[in-house]
Amino acid sequence: MGWLNVLAATYDNCISEVGKTEKISKGKGEKTFDQTLVLLPISHITNNAGIEITINEKGEFKSAARVDKSDQITIMPATEDSASRGNGVNPMPLFDKLSYVAGDYDDHVTDDKKKRPCYEKYMEQFHLWADLPDTPLKVKAICKYLDHGSVIKDLKDNNVFDGTDTFVRFVVTGIENITVKTWCDKEVYDSFIRYYDSVLTEMDIDYTTGEICPVTQKLPSKIRNSGDKAKLISSNDNTNFTFRGRFSSASEAVRIGYEVSQKAHNALRWLISRQGYNNGSESIVCWSPGNLDIPSPMSDSGQFDVDEDEYEIGFDTEEQFAKRLNKAIAGYRQNFDKDIRRIEKDTLKVVIMAVDTADGSGQGRLSITYYNEQESQSFLNNIFKWYSECCWEFYVKKKEAFLISSPSPEDIVLAAFGVERGEFVDVDDKAKKKYIDRLLPCIVQGRKIPKNMVYAAVRNVSNPQRFKKANWDRLLTSACAMIKKYQYDYGKEVFSVALNKESMDRDYLFGRLLAASHKLEDYVNFKSGNSGRETSAMRYWSTYAQKPARTFMTIRDKLQPYISKLKIGTRNYYQSLAEEILAKLEQAGSFNNEPLKENYLLGYYSQMAEFRNYKSTEINEEEE
């Protein structure tokens, strides 16, 4: 199925959600904001209405009020022309700006351009719908009221008009003793859809369905957000540049059914607003056409936390993490199996789609930068593979514990290319967009993690002096997760968070040696009241990664004054640990100045984690 067919099928499977508005919170921290979402009916758009007029069933004015900003989103009927109107006179069928709905606008507002033609064309179009026998009485009442041409006078009498040409919406009372907000009324939606379908006369073959039906060349915009003017399909160039001589008109290139276009674009707009991921100007969305709940490939593994009681606070293993992950994935599989009879087999798939403009703006052509369809079980297997293999130990502030988790794609890009700006680590928007796009197939299709991103993360983290400690710690754990995934993908020896004391891997051993040197000095600084002071290991880190043997000798000389300050038990512990690691390096003939590879970061982290969890009574009294 093509993307238009898939989105249209998604719309049909979510038909019960059409017209329902919901508010969700988006963003993080101080950037959190509330957004109103709605799956629009066919032939409808949304705009912000500033004024609300109440009339009775006879079309008589009752009251008017300004609409609070939190409640201005209004679903309104729209024609092809009015939905994309520019400077021309193209009225909306029901709700519109005052210059269209007010017959007395020119009598009360001084403007260089007279608006009477807007009102006349609006009423002419409105009557074509309102005068039909099956049109709801509430719509007829609005038409009757507007025929009076007294909207501005009524607003002024109620101290509502402030001179702004804003959108107006209507409340109708008295019909069956019910007060109707017509912008939320399904009967009004359905009535206009039936009417507008009857006036669409241009018939042709719909290239998406192969059927003869009403077609359109004016496809919707506002895909990524309400200010987005870019379109996925457009043919507004008549200077022979678009077709390059192959066709004489846009209709010869492609014909798209009006209903399919409306369903597909409304569904995509709703999905992006509801569950999309913004990668700069690019929008990435993952969904099931059958409206099944699926995990997001763009977040970290926190979405799989199924039961907080399963955490052993302060101690978490990769086995426990795998069990939680398995349990969560099994829950998704169970939902798919439960709903398999409810929906068509074709909609049991999962679709991942990304759209963006070439220059990252909100103008021009919107291209599909990534598109993938796959069976739901294959998708879940790939998600499980990614999160179970690309994971490491992260400090979770909310739980005040170190837990096994997976970094988000954004965390991975920050680890590889991030630079510190102020209090936070950031990366150039173009670079972030580019590399998140490269990670997407790795997550959803099971492709190998790019080697150059892993190497970039190792280089970046090998310069801890560029970052504040908290920021560097986060980058280090993300880099470790990337290295582990790299080991799985390319057939390397796989290291876990737990310290491997038997490993003879040169890089891993040098990482452990660096951790021991850092911990010893940091411990003495803590005891002497200089907590947080930079250690020799941190100062010489980047040099150590390039010439480890020579640099270690320099660090060891720097440590002598600190060793003398340790109590005998602690001193013996650190010295014996260093001697044990050095002996293994000498035994393998690896104590040399060959630059270190990625495993040294794993050795460093695992040794530091071992220090953190060490409970030996021999040096317990000396522990932090």
The pLDDT of 323-327, averaged and rounded, is 84
The answer to the question of residue 257 being in a domain is no
Q: What is the pLDDT of residue 398?
A: 80
Last residue of a domain, one of 497, 526, 543: 497
Q: What is the pLDDT of residue 1?
A: 58
Q: In the structure encoding, which two tokens stand for residue 168, read together?
A: 């107006």
The answer to the question of residue 114 being in a domain is yes
Q: Which residues are CB-contacts of 445 (< 8 A; sequence separation ≥ 6)?
A: 372, 374, 382
DSSP for 83-116 reads HT--SS----SSSEEHHHH-TTHHHH---SS--H
One domain for residues 525 and 570: yes
- Is the pLDDT at 33 greater than 60? The verdict is no
Domain extent for 422: 276-497
The answer to the question of residue 438 being in a domain is yes
Composition of the chain by helix, strand, coil, percent to 5: 50, 20, 35
One domain for residues 128 and 76: yes
Last residue of a domain, one of 434, 462, 497: 497
Give how many domains the chain has, as a whole number.
3
* Confidence category of residue 624, pLDDT binned at 50, 70, 90: very low
One domain for residues 359 and 461: yes
One domain for residues 295 and 192: no
Q: Tell me how far CA of residue 315 lies from CA of 284, 327, 494, 614, in angstroms.
A: 35, 19, 21, 12
Q: Cα separation of 192 and 380, whole Å?
A: 41
One domain for residues 410 and 366: yes
* Confidence category of residue 623, pLDDT binned at 50, 70, 90: very low
One domain for residues 474 and 527: no
One domain for residues 351 and 379: yes
The answer to the question of residue 164 being in a domain is yes
Burial of 598 (0-12, 13-18, 19+ CB in 10 A): buried
The answer to the question of residue 300 being in a domain is yes
The answer to the question of residue 236 being in a domain is no
Q: Would the pTM of this model clear 0.85, i.e. be above it? A: yes
Q: Cα separation of 312 and 403, whole Å?
A: 9
One domain for residues 484 and 526: no
The answer to the question of residue 371 being in a domain is yes
Q: What is the pLDDT of residue 53?
A: 97
* Confidence category of residue 111, pLDDT binned at 50, 70, 90: confident
Q: Tell me how far CA of residue 545 lies from CA of 435, 458, 517, in angstroms.
A: 25, 10, 14
Q: What is the pLDDT of residue 70?
A: 87
Q: Cα separation of 393 and 594, whole Å?
A: 29
One domain for residues 523 and 448: no
Lowest mean pLDDT among 389-403, 448-462, 590-604: 389-403
Q: Cα separation of 455 and 230, whole Å?
A: 37
The pLDDT of 583-603, averaged and rounded, is 95
One domain for residues 528 and 574: yes
The answer to the question of residue 228 being in a domain is no
Last residue of a domain, one of 176, 197, 218: 197
Cα radius of gyration (the chain): 32
One domain for residues 375 and 391: yes
Q: Cα separation of 605 and 613, whole Å?
A: 12
Can you tell me whether residue 473 is helix, strand or coil? helix
| DSSP code of residue 315 | B
3-state secondary structure 29-46: HHHCEEEEEEECCCCEEE
- Is the pLDDT at 616 greater than 50? The verdict is no
- Is the pLDDT at 313 greater than 60? The verdict is no
Tell me the pLDDT tens digit for each residue of 259-280.
Answer: 999 999 999 999 999 899 999 9
One domain for residues 349 and 471: yes
- The one-letter amino acid at 520: L
- Is the pLDDT at 243 greater than 90? The verdict is no
The pLDDT of 196-224, averaged and rounded, is 89
* Confidence category of residue 619, pLDDT binned at 50, 70, 90: very low
